[in-house]
Every structure is written in structure tokens, then in C-alpha cells.
């Protein structure tokens, strides 16, 4: 007899299969654990730490922690939500996230997760780093001001497109996204707008050209309902499950 294995997430039993992470099982059960660098199509990364949960008294990232029978997982305690909010505030002040001037605003996962955690201010001192915009590619623009180093484009370009267009360079606070081309410009790389890497950015760092502000305010992905209901923005990219939303 094949016994169903479960763990408890905020007091609710969640079924899981062998090899599942806490995140895999939660997503399948429709339970929302906030996340940015995780996309179920790619190998978990565990780097943004937004999906931290408390498991048996310790903190782990839900996207990398294997599910195990009988775990008590706390995803919604005041302490966890506070810590997530702090992480998000640090992401906001490390980059230049000027939402009113960003095409992705309203369908941005960083914003949506911040709304979900009740972030009303960045709290910390802004870095205002000097970063560039790369508009050299005919179909896609890159605004490094908004990159949160989730490496989803790195993973997509390497694992799906087999092009290795993106990688990270530098260490710690100096880490930056870099483009694999002779000039370092996207226009000189093998990148194409049809690449998977063009459709995984959770923020407004990699943006398609020629279709800015298509959705009026009030109609955008996260305008009326929270990300816990709507889901990840990447799922609404062409060819994915939510394609065709209005």
C-alpha cells in the first residue's frame, strides 16, 4: 500500500511526493509561499531568500528544502513576514527601482511580493548605484538598474536556450549581471526575443521593446488581486498557462 506522505504548512496538511521540495508541494497544493528567484521550470536556486520558512525551529529556503513527512512549516508568522519584508526592502534600496517610470510596474513580481508582505517603505538608506541601460538589441532592452540577480535569465539561457548569454560577475555587493558578447552589449550577443531567457525576468530588467504600457493602470496583472491569487508573472508569458490574460 502506497501511503500518502504529508507535512504541515501553517497548520494545513500538504501532500508531497518523493523528491519534492517544500515549494514544489506547496505550489501543487495551491498554497502560496512568496518567492522571486524560483520558477518551477528551473532548478531551484535558493538565492533571493524571500521564500524562507521556519521548519522545526530553523530557517530554510522553501525552494531548496526537501519535503519530509511530519515537518511543521511556518510560512506566515510575524517574524517570517518581517524578515521577508526586510529582504525585499534591501532589494529595493540596492537597485534603482523607480516604479512610476517602469514599464513592468503593475506586472512586476518584486512589487507584487512587496505588496503581499505589506511593505510601505524601503526603510533602509538607498544606494542609488550607477548602473546602465542596454538598448543595443532591436527587440529587447536591458535595464540593469532593476536587476535583482535572481539568475533566471542565466538559467534559461544556459539550460533551455543553450546559449549562455548571461552570467553574473563580481562578488558580494559588487555582483552584476553581465552579457556574453564581444562588446558586452546584448545587440552583439546571440540573444533573440524568442529565447526562453527573454520571458523569465520577474522584474523590469529584461523588457520587450515596442509594447510598453500595453495594459492600462487598473488592468495590469497585480492591480486588483494579490500574487497569492494571481501567481507568478512568468506564467503569463506567451506559451505558458496564463497566456492571454487581459
Q: Is 52 exposed, middle or buried (0-12, 13-18, 19+ CB in 10 A)?
A: buried
Residue 85 in the binding site for another protein (CB under 8 A): no
Footprint of another protein on 183-222 (CB under 8 A): 217
Judged by CB under 8 A, the residue of 17, 56, 72, 101 near another protein is 101
Shortest distance (Å) from residue 111 CB to another protein = 6
Instruction: Give how far Cα 234 sits from Cα of 37, 140, 162, 177, 240, Å.
Output: 11, 16, 19, 19, 8
Residue 82 in the binding site for another protein (CB under 8 A): no
Residue 138 in the binding site for another protein (CB under 8 A): no
- Give whichever of 131 and 163 is closer to another protein, judged by the CB atom: 131
Residue 176 in the binding site for another protein (CB under 8 A): no
Residue 246 in the binding site for another protein (CB under 8 A): no
Could you tell me where the beta strands, DSSP code E, fall in the chain?
Answer: 5-9, 12-16, 52-55, 58-61, 72-74, 133-134, 140-143, 166-169, 176-179, 206-208
Judged by CB under 8 A, the residue of 28, 115, 135, 168 near another protein is 115
Candidate segments 59-67, 115-123, 168-176, 195-203, binder of another protein by CB under 8 A: 115-123
β 58-61/12-16 pair status: unpaired
Shortest distance (Å) from residue 83 CB to another protein = 19
Which of 94, 85, 100, 146 lies closest to 125 in space, CA to CA?
Answer: 94
Shortest distance (Å) from residue 230 CB to another protein = 11
Footprint of another protein (CB under 8 A) = 92, 96-102, 105-106, 111, 114-115, 120-123, 125-126, 128, 130-131, 145, 217, 223-226
Amino acid at each position: 500500500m502506497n501511503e500518502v506522505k504529508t507535512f504541515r504548512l501553517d497548520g494545513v496538511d500538504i501532500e508531497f511526493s518523493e523528491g519534492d521540495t517544500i515549494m514544489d508541494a506547496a505550489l501543487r497544493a495551491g498554497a502560496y509561499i512568496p518567492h522571486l528567484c524560483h520558477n518551477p521550470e528551473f532548478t531551484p536556486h535558493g538565492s533571493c531568500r524571500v521564500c524562507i520558512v521556519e521548519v522545526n525551529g530553523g530557517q530554510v529556503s522553501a525552494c531548496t528544502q526537501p519535503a519530509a513527512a511530519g515537518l511543521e512549516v511556518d510560512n506566515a508568522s510575524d517574524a517570517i513576514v518581517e524578515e521577508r519584508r526586510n529582504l525585499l526592502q534591501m532589494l529595493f534600496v540596492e537597485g534603482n527601482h523607480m516604479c512610476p517610470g517602469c514599464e513592468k510596474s503593475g506586472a512586476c513580481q518584486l512589487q507584487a511580493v512587496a505588496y503581499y508582505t505589506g511593505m510601505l517603505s524601503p526603510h533602509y538608506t538607498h544606494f542609488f548605484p550607477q548602473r546602465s541601460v542596454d538598448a543595443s538589441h532591436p527587440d529587447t532592452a536591458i535595464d540593469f538598474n532593476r536587476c535583482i540577480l535572481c539568475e533566471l535569465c542565466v538559467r534559461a539561457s544556459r539550460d533551455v536556450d543553450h546559449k549562455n548569454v548571461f552570467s553574473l560577475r563580481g562578488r558580494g555587493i559588487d555582483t552584476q549581471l553581465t552579457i556574453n558578447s564581444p562588446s558586452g552589449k546584448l545587440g552583439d550577443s546571440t540573444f533573440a526575443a524568442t529565447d526562453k531567457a527573454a520571458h523569465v525576468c520577474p522584474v523590469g530588467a529584461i523588457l520587450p521593446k515596442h509594447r510598453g504600457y500595453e495594459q492600462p493602470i487598473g488592468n495590469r496583472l497585480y492591480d486588483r488581486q494579490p500574487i497569492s491569487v494571481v501567481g507568478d508573472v512568468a506564467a503569463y508569458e506567451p506559451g505558458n498557462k496564463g497566456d492571454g490574460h487581459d
